[in-house]
Amino acid sequence: MDVADLGLPVDVPSTALFTDQYELTMLQAALKAGTAERRSVFEVFTRRLPEGRRYGVLAGTGRVLDAVENFRFDPDVLGFLRERDIVDGPTLEWLASYRFSGDIWGYPEGEVYFPGSPVLRVEGSFAECVLLETVILSVLNHDSAIAAAASRMSSAAGGRPLIEMGARRTHELAAVAAARAAYVGGFATTSDLAAGFRYGIPTVGTSAHAFTLLHDHERDAFRAQVDSLGRGTTLLVDTYDVAEAVRTAVEVAGPDLGAVRIDSGDLLLVAHRVRQQLDAMGATGTRIVVTSDLDEYAIASLAAAPVDAYGVGTQLVTGSGHPTCSMVYKLVARAESADPKAPLVPVAKKSTGGKTSMGGRKWAARRLDADGVAEAEVVGTGQVPADLADRQLLVELVKGGTVVTREPLDTVRDRHTRARAGLPLSATQLSRGEPVLPTEYVQGDTGL
């Protein structure tokens, strides 16, 4: 059964406290000032990609929908807020019945994005929208960073499968989210059972060095593993001497041994030697899996090596040097009164230091060249140009507080593969460079 993103509850009673205190103090002040119910539009975007990256990957949208549905101020949460005197009585009363009733639009999960892309748009009253800022950014910044690293690694792997195995290198709950994001970015499997249970991601795993060290002889360890897991298992061959271990592995399992794993040393050199040894012993179908602190550059360096799969941990779950996407959640339009019919007016922060933004509710479209390859990310306000009407990127995710778009994870993963394939070839270069698509801004009538 495909259990991906079925709205299952998170592992906490509520997501309401996955927020910063100033969200609640802003709410209290807005309630007192009579501005809390003004219709508002917030947008999520990043002003720049991480240094050297050519594109971003949106991941975590499904988790955002779960978080919004579970954003409830239950009695225990309210009691905590009351005990700490974080907000006053009228605000607590308002929070007790909180349910997001607005609309959310966004780029489909798995889609690529660029600086200025409005990857998520949240509309409703100021009060109900402002509370979601921190949890939305927490999810999207983390998951999109992992997915972007995974995408680069997947591209570098050139079709060879990738195994996500970073659970021991990050927070236990972050590990589950990281495995999900890695799958979106192109990884095939995960070692994390919680991710398999929660999202239906295929799981893999056999043994570590400790299992070999447990036994008196390496042969005994291999025999025990083969007896338990069958000849198709993967034997770890670098605990002692690699060449001797490969010989013993084939002797124990026979030429039908599934795979050997190499976790140390000069992987390029060792992989070639192991392949020659396996072939000489008749184990021509035995695959070679390599691990050991891989990133996209190490994977690319092994392109000519006889490697069949890669296992990646630390560099993946830390975003390969970029653990966040620097996404922000900004108010871009609001009504002049609490009247539901009051028109929206654009608003934007005006400051120095590169933190300016364009006000108004945005649309986004991707313009293609004559060959059907993306050539620009177009972001604008007002009327969408006729030639871009069928290239719009935002889709409706939540309507009137109800989730209307929830997708299986495989659908999201396939979308990313197609989106990346639609970019110019330079998008997959690992060398540092500017975003592969320019962002063009079109400012039209912003009054709504």
- Homologous superfamily of the 21-146+322-442 domain (CATH): nicotinate phosphoribosyltransferase (3.20.140.10)
Residue range(s) occupied by CATH 3.20.20.70 in the chain: 206-307
Q: Label residue 150 exposed, middle or buried (CB < 10 Å: 0-12, 13-18, 19+).
A: buried
- Give Cβ neighbours of residue 413 (< 8 Å, ≥ 6 apart): 110, 183, 184, 186
Cα 263 to Cα 261: distance, rounded to the nearest angstrom: 6
Architecture in CATH of 206-307 = Alpha-Beta Barrel (3.20)
pLDDT per residue, tens digit, the chain (448 aa), is 344 455 544 455 589 999 999 999 999 999 999 999 999 999 999 999 999 899 999 999 999 999 999 999 999 999 999 999 999 999 999 999 999 999 999 999 999 999 999 999 999 999 999 999 999 999 999 999 999 999 999 999 999 999 999 999 999 999 999 999 999 999 999 999 999 999 999 999 999 999 999 999 999 999 999 999 999 999 999 999 999 999 999 999 999 999 999 999 999 999 999 999 999 999 999 999 999 999 999 999 999 999 999 999 999 999 999 999 999 999 999 999 999 889 999 999 886 666 667 899 999 999 999 999 999 999 999 999 999 999 999 999 999 999 999 999 999 999 999 999 999 999 999 988 899 999 999 987 654 5
Cα 119 to Cα 46: distance, rounded to the nearest angstrom: 9
> Are 246 and 260 contacting, i.e. CB atoms less than 8 angstroms apart?
yes
Cα 418 to Cα 30: distance, rounded to the nearest angstrom: 44
> Are 71 and 16 contacting, i.e. CB atoms less than 8 angstroms apart?
yes
> Are 102 and 122 contacting, i.e. CB atoms less than 8 angstroms apart?
yes
Ramachandran class of 378: left when φ > 0, alpha when ψ lies in -120 to 50, beta otherwise: beta
For residue 150, how many C-alpha atoms fall within 13 Å in the half-sphere facing its CB?
Answer: 37
287-290 and 259-262 as β-strands: parallel, antiparallel, unpaired? parallel
Residue range(s) occupied by CATH 3.20.140.10 in the chain: 21-146+322-442
List the one residue out of 23, 301, 60, 35 whose CA is nearest residue 158.
Answer: 301
Q: Label residue 51 exposed, middle or buried (CB < 10 Å: 0-12, 13-18, 19+).
A: exposed
Q: Helix 89-96 to helix 21-33 angle, to the nearest 10 degrees?
A: 100
- The sign of the dihedral angle between the CA atoms of 384, 388, 394, 400 is positive
